[in-house]
Structure 1
């Protein structure tokens, strides 16, 4: 049963450029422009009309954009919940200007071992993450640690929790790695390892969407009965100011926005593509977290119930439920 008929999230790519070269990501290989402030203002107004609640300014590395603080400020002034994930390299330079403008600020950290983390990220950023934590805390910010989970770093999860999250009173967000396109992410987590993640997530200040675990056990999205609602729950806007459908990772079609995002999203051509969400051949077996999370939120089914406890846990800890109600 569909609970929310309008999109709830916008993944707004400020640029595809990145100052890291993560082994499990290919976005940094793409040439890319930077989004423009006037386009952002127009698009945010249309996103508000469409019913979107959350704006994720993403990349690439979003802090490479010299106007990222202005984008966040505009979004917050319009009542959106804002979120941003960074590798930490540039946060110390941006911290003062970002203060109070990011509702959900995530620092990526995949190991408590400097060498292991920096090797996976393709750049020396471990020390910058630790520095970013200290600076953020000094400014009264409440960042989270986003831990991308692979087979090879499962043993690091508890160390990150015990050595970094607990002493700093930070939420640990567990993000099971997913496959897409030709990107190599190694062997997928076994049922036993997924059960370990679920058990670990019961700890204080640990977040894991249990629906992610169940979806993997079920073999991912199935095109004959899709759980994915990527295109109807989420809008993707590219650095070229295009609406990307049905999601960034598939990117089957791109439509120039041209100042008319609201009309474009409601056009017959786009609606036809939205109707195919989760049903295209490439959608079979998909477990991409950033599109499944909103998919679980808009339709009541077994995944909705699986996702509910962790969603409430995070919202209560971060206080975002207050913003949603207002």
Structure 2
């Protein structure tokens, strides 16, 4: 049963450029412009009309954009919940400009071992993450640690939790690695390892969407009965100011926005693509977290119930429910 028809999230790619070269990502390999402040202003107005509640300014490395603070401030003042994930390299320099504008600030960290983390990221950024934590806390921000889990770094979860999360009173977000296109992520987590993650996610100051675990145990999205609702829950905007469908990672169509996102998203051609969400050949077995999370929130099924407790836990820890409550209702 579908309980929400409006989109929930916008993944807004400010640029594909990045100052890291993560082994499990190919975005940084793409040439890219930067989005413009004028386009962002217009698109945010249309996103508000469409019912979107969360804006994820992403990349690439979003802090490479020189006007990122203005964009975040604009979105925040309009009542959107804002989120941003960074490798931390530029955060200490920009922290004061960003203060109070990001509701969910994530620092990427995949190991408590400096060499292991920096090797996976293709650049020396571990020390920047440690500095970013210190700076953010000094400014009264409440950052999270986003830990992307592979088989080779699973053993590092405990050390990150004990040495970094608890002493700094942070939230640990467990992000199981997912496959897409030709990007190599190594061997997939076994059932036993997934159960370990599930147990770990029950600890205090830890967030793991249990729907992610269940979907992997089930073999991912099934095209004959798709759980993925990427195109109808999430708008993807590219640095070229295009609407990408059905999602960034499997995007097969791009439409120039030209200042009219609202009408474009509601057009007949886009509506037809929405009806294909989760049903394309490339969607078989998909477990891409950033589209499954909103998908789990809009339709009552076993993934909805699996995801609900952890989602409530995270929103309670972060206090984001306070920003949602006056502006929207879950049921439309």
Question: Which TM-score applies when normalising by structure 1?
Answer: 1.00
Instruction: Specify the SS of the correspondent of 1:226.
Output: coil
Q: Does 1:258 align with 2:297?
A: no
| 1:286-297 mapped onto 2 (5 Å cutoff) | 286-297=286-297
The count of aligned residue pairs is 326
Residue segments in structure 2 that go unaligned for 5+ positions in a row:
327-332
Instruction: Specify the SS of the correspondent of 1:152.
Output: coil
> For residue 6 of structure 1, what is the aligned residue in structure 2?
6
| 1:114-125 mapped onto 2 (5 Å cutoff) | 114-125=114-125
Q: Does 1:45 align with 2:45?
A: yes
C-alpha distance in 1 between matches for 2:201 and 2:293? 16
Q: Does 1:311 align with 2:311?
A: yes
> For residue 136 of structure 1, what is the aligned residue in structure 2?
136
1:149 shift after superposition: 0.3
Instruction: Specify the SS of the correspondent of 1:248.
Output: coil
Question: Which TM-score applies when normalising by structure 2?
Answer: 0.98
C-alpha distance in 2 between matches for 1:215 and 1:250? 18
Residue segments in structure 1 that go unaligned for 5+ positions in a row:
none
> For residue 100 of structure 1, what is the aligned residue in structure 2?
100
> For residue 206 of structure 2, what is the aligned residue in structure 1?
206
| 1:48-63 mapped onto 2 (5 Å cutoff) | 48-63=48-63
1:81 shift after superposition: 0.2
C-alpha distance in 1 between matches for 2:52 and 2:202? 30
Instruction: Specify the SS of the correspondent of 2:107.
Output: strand
C-alpha distance in 2 between matches for 1:233 and 1:21? 29
C-alpha distance in 2 between matches for 1:201 and 1:47? 32
| 1:154-233 mapped onto 2 (5 Å cutoff) | 154-233=154-233
> For residue 299 of structure 2, what is the aligned residue in structure 1?
299
C-alpha distance in 2 between matches for 1:258 and 1:205? 43
Instruction: Specify the SS of the correspondent of 1:316.
Output: helix
C-alpha distance in 2 between matches for 1:222 and 1:175? 21
C-alpha distance in 1 between matches for 2:274 and 2:36? 26
Instruction: Specify the SS of the correspondent of 1:235.
Output: strand
Superposed CA RMSD: 0.3
Moved over 3 A (4+): none
C-alpha distance in 2 between matches for 1:141 and 1:322? 16
C-alpha distance in 1 between matches for 2:61 and 2:87? 7
Instruction: Specify the SS of the correspondent of 2:11.
Output: strand
> For residue 329 of structure 2, what is the aligned residue in structure 1?
none
Q: After superposition, give the CA deviation of every residue in 1:235-258 in whole Å (9 maximum; x if it has no partner).
A: 000000000000000110000000
> For residue 320 of structure 2, what is the aligned residue in structure 1?
320
C-alpha distance in 2 between matches for 1:234 and 1:7? 6
> For residue 110 of structure 1, what is the aligned residue in structure 2?
110
Q: After superposition, give the CA deviation of every residue in 1:267-294 in whole Å (9 maximum; x if it has no partner).
A: 0010000100000000000000000000
Q: After superposition, give the CA deviation of every residue in 1:94-125 in whole Å (9 maximum; x if it has no partner).
A: 10000000000000000000000000000000
Instruction: Specify the SS of the correspondent of 1:105.
Output: strand
> For residue 284 of structure 1, what is the aligned residue in structure 2?
284
C-alpha distance in 1 between matches for 2:13 and 2:71? 12
Q: After superposition, give the CA deviation of every residue in 1:184-223 in whole Å (9 maximum; x if it has no partner).
A: 0001000000000001111110000000000000000000
C-alpha distance in 2 between matches for 1:154 and 1:170? 19
C-alpha distance in 1 between matches for 2:58 and 2:35? 11
